Structure 1
């Protein structure tokens, strides 16, 4: 790939391997293409997805552990999680969310447990790979990333939560 750094090429190859494994689909590529018009789109979208998915999975765990399952709420969260995972290209996780949602709509408690296990398993795999993408992106631009013509200095990247902590904004208004 002409004009790319070795780290960028490694990242592109990693994303390609995720596509080949079926972990990511074309939606990730579409999001990446939009980054030329909206800098930092991928970093922001992945970080927001991981944060929101963590909260949704915690809510599902709580709901499914209750003595009386609130099936409409499980259905709602599974539907939202399916949409957000599909929008960033997490097709296997989106499929698992469909299994959970279908079981919830059918008021199938065992099916909900099975579906939730699938969602959690797919999320852990997706989370690990998205964290790798975020880490690789930050390594490609050490200690900084660029957004809207501004340079943001990154003092900490927490791979366990996938949050980029921004300590200082330099330049631009």
Structure 2
């Protein structure tokens, strides 16, 4: 039942265009490798690294002289983490920020950053729900084995 609720939630996020199928691919890896905490670890890592990158981006883009290489690096971290969890909209926003940074276009960076902010925090909220569902599944399965 808990597995089905999780799948229904993922399906809803996919139908809303928030996620693609990569989350399910990562879950397959979790099941095939018998790493029951893999998804929770991926989510935790994305949230921790993403929050740090978001703070760093805010600081970098308000600086008098923007360090575009650091902006690119921080945006790449968000893009990579979002990609591993299927966050296609946050990935698209981060990709736009990477491109603006590579072009050293501060105005485009600021516009793209606003997009990243919207998508990142929206996706973060969804991931927190997914984390709770994943934890419930792990707890249920460990009780069954236990």
TM-score normalised according to structure 2 size: 0.89
**Residue 103 of structure 1 contacts residue 109 of structure 1 at CA under 8 Å; is this kept in 2?**
yes
- Indicate yes or no: 2:90 matched with 1:98: no
Runs (4+) off by over 4 Å? none
Instruction: Give the aligned CA root-mean-square deviation in angstroms.
Output: 1.9
Identify the residue that residue 34 of structure 1 maps to in structure 2. 29
Higher helix share: 2
* Ranges in structure 1 where 5+ consecutive residues have no aligned partner: 152-173
CA distance in 2, matches of 1:12, 1:49: 20
CA distance in 1, matches of 2:71, 2:104: 10
**Residue 138 of structure 1 contacts residue 145 of structure 1 at CA under 8 Å; is this kept in 2?**
no
The counterpart of 2:15, out of the listed 4, 14, 20, is 20
Shift of 1:140: 4.4
Higher RCO (C-alpha 8 Å, min separation 6): 2
Higher strand share: 1
Shift of 1:51: 0.7
Q: How many pairs align?
A: 142
TM-score normalised according to structure 1 size: 0.75
* Ranges in structure 2 where 5+ consecutive residues have no aligned partner: none
